């Protein structure tokens, strides 16, 4: 009996340690999401010049009209003058999708416009691998809330890839979709290569997003 009791105690302990690890290491599971880009308060991060209209809305889950996309992506590219930069992020989680991040940003971070980014690219875990989700901030052409710098939020398109790229690299499909989306945005808004930035290049002191293992050379 003592041997059985010891085995049961050991099994219980191992299960406890595993549960603690899972719930503390993946923000999507723990509810304490640590996305570097959503630390800034909504009021500051969403400061907008007069020519950028404000609106609210959840995440768009349906394809939007095609407007002469450079790479054939079913994404609407409205005529605009404010988009001068592209800023790339990682979610800092192993899994997730635009709806999950939208819910967190609304309910936990108090962002009235929801999802901090304009686009989310899935990794196959709770999202389609390489799938591009369009947020309402893009549909409504309003500023993001993905940087500390309010000017950059007004002038940059925020793209978030699901994943923690301090632990692993983006999937091949994620990178393929990212490159296509960047090419479209560059073509539509004449964004130069020098203005394609990693989040850590914008908010240098606050974050290492999109992570050490993100292959920046592939977009440069």
pTM above 0.85, yes or no: no
Res 5: pLDDT: 56
Return the closest-CA partner of residue 39 out of 27, 50, 51.
27
- How many CA atoms does the CB half-sphere of 32 hold within 13 Å? 5
pLDDT tens-digit profile of 20-61? 333 333 444 333 333 434 444 444 433 333 222 222 233 333
Please state whether 126 falls in left (phi above 0), alpha (psi between -120 and 50) or beta: left
pLDDT tens-digit profile of 90-144? 998 999 999 999 999 988 888 888 899 999 999 998 999 999 999 999 999 988 8
Res 3: pLDDT: 55
Give the C-alpha distances (Å, rounded to integers) separating 145 from 97, 123, 152, 160, 206.
17, 22, 9, 12, 15
Mean of pLDDT values over 191-198: 93
Lowest mean pLDDT among 19-23, 153-157, 163-167: 19-23
């Amino acid at each position: 009996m003592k041997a059985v009791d010891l085995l049961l105690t050991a099994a219980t302990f191992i299960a406890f340690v595993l549960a603690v690890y899972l719930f503390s290491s993946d923000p999507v599971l723990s509810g304490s999401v640590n996305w570097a880009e959503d630390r800034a308060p909504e009021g500051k991060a969403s400061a907008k010049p007069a020519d950028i209209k404000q609106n609210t809305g959840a995440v768009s889950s349906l394809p939007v009209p095609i407007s002469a996309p450079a790479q054939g992506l079913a994404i609407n590219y409205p005529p605009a003058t404010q988009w001068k930069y592209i800023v790339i992020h990682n979610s800092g989680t192993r899994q997730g999708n635009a709806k999950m991040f939208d819910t967190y940003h609304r309910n936990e971070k108090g962002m009235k416009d929801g999802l901090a980014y304009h686009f989310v690219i899935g990794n196959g875990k709770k999202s389609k691998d390489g799938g591009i989700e369009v947020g309402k901030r893009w549909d409504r052409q309003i500023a993001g809330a993905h940087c500390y710098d309010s000017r950059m939020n007004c002038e940059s398109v925020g793209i978030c890839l699901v994943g923690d790229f301090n632990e692993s690299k983006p999937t091949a499909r994620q990178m393929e979709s990212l490159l296509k989306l960047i090419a479209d945005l560059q073509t539509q808004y004449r964004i130069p290569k020098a203005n394609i930035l990693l989040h850590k290049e914008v908010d240098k002191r606050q974050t290492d997003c999109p992570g050490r293992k993100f292959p920046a050379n592939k977009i440069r």
